[in-house]
Amino acid sequence: MKLDTLVLIVVAVLCGAVALVWVAGIFVLSFTVPFGFLALIPAALVAYIAYRVLAERVGSAEEDHYDDMEH
């Protein structure tokens, strides 16, 4: 496995773990603080934007020609 692939995997896993802790913290906050559920709005917006970016990347036929290129 190439080093850049390994680093990309490690960074992706760490970002996922940090995002999970962040959302869990906001979720707990929403039950302990009055009107804390309003803090879930930015988390929902980030999740929606990430979903749209990933859906466009996976579904885009324009970017598929880069997958077959030699390095």
**Spans of all domains in the chain:** 3-63
First vs last C-alpha separation in the chain: 14
Predicted pLDDT at 12: 93
Predicted pLDDT at 9: 92
pLDDT along the chain (71 residues), means of 10: 87 93 84 77 86 81 63 58
Predicted pLDDT at 13: 95
pTM: 0.53
DSSP state of 34: T
Determine the Cα–Cα distance for residues 44 and 22; give it in Å rounded to an integer. Answer: 12
